[in-house]
């Protein structure tokens, strides 16, 4: 089975039965720096773990609360992705719409303000919307043995992971408010972009490992 491009840079499995996909939505402000980096690093990590562009039925995309609709990724963000060997091609910025939230099974935001904006849109988004670092903290506290085995599919595992993280949220708080933030590098020099890229990649690693059950290659 081959992946089919959706025309917006995302991939999905084909053919797909209802409920056979799991959509991950990364959200920042302009959708030209943080969320594109996070989207493409997630895809790169999934391909590394699973060995193909299908990602077991996972669909990874991004949008911005003040998204620059149709805009390209920032050049420094492209450079950061190249540092990791991730593909930056074909990216097009999007403004966050109700339909994106409705369709998403997991929303990971750059900051708490972004999280609040997503939740304020409604659509029962509260239990599936986290900041990236918040979700990482919660995932690290979950016993992976309690998740469905890989034989049940990545989608089933992903849905169980989100439920487990939501159940832990009120019990495992951040040590500081800033601990859940990924700061905006827009307009900053490449060195700061690279530090943000490292921060995002570090936060993503345990999340992708939990989703796939496969650790990063040495």
pLDDT for res 77: 98
Model confidence pLDDT, tens digit, residues 8-31: 333 333 333 445 899 999 999 999
Residue boundaries of the structural domains of the chain: 22-209
Model confidence pLDDT, tens digit, residues 136-160: 999 999 999 999 988 888 999 999 9
Q: Model pTM?
A: 0.89
Residue with tokens 């049940």: 152
Model confidence pLDDT, tens digit, residues 91-135: 999 999 999 999 999 999 999 999 999 999 998 999 999 999 999
2 to 21, 53, 128, 218: CA distances (angstroms): 14, 8, 29, 27
CATH 3.40.50.2300 fits 22-209, yes or no: yes
How many Å apart are CA 34 and CA 119, to the nearest integer? 19
Burial class, 24, CB count within 10 angstroms (exposed 0-12 / middle 13-18 / buried 19+): buried
């Amino acid at each position: 089975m081959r992946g089919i491009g959706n025309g917006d840079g995302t991939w999905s499995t084909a053919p797909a039965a209802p409920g056979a996909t799991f959509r991950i939505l990364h959200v920042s402000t302009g959708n030209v720096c943080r969320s594109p980096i996070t989207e493409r690093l997630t895809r790169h990590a999934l391909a590394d773990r699973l060995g193909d562009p299908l990602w077991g039925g996972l669909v990874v995309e991004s949008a911005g609360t003040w998204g620059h609709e149709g805009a390209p990724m920032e050049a420094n963000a492209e450079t950061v992705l190249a540092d990791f060997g991730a593909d930056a091609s074909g990216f097009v910025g999007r403004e966050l719409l109700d339909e994106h939230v409705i369709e998403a099974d997991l929303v990971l935001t750059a900051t708490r303000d972004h999280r609040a904006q997503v939740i304020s849109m409604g659509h029962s988004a509260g239990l599936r919307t986290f900041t990236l670092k918040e979700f990482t903290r919660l995932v690290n506290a979950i016993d992976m043995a309690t998740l469905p085995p890989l034989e049940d599919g990545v989608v089933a595992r992903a849905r169980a992971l989100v439920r487990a993280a939501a159940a832990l949220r009120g019990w495992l708080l951040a040590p500081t408010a800033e601990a859940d933030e990924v700061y905006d590098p827009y307009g900053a020099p490449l060195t700061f972009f690279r530090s943000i890229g490292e921060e995002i990649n570090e936060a993503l690693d345990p999340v992708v490992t939990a989703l796939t059950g496969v650790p990063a290659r040495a």
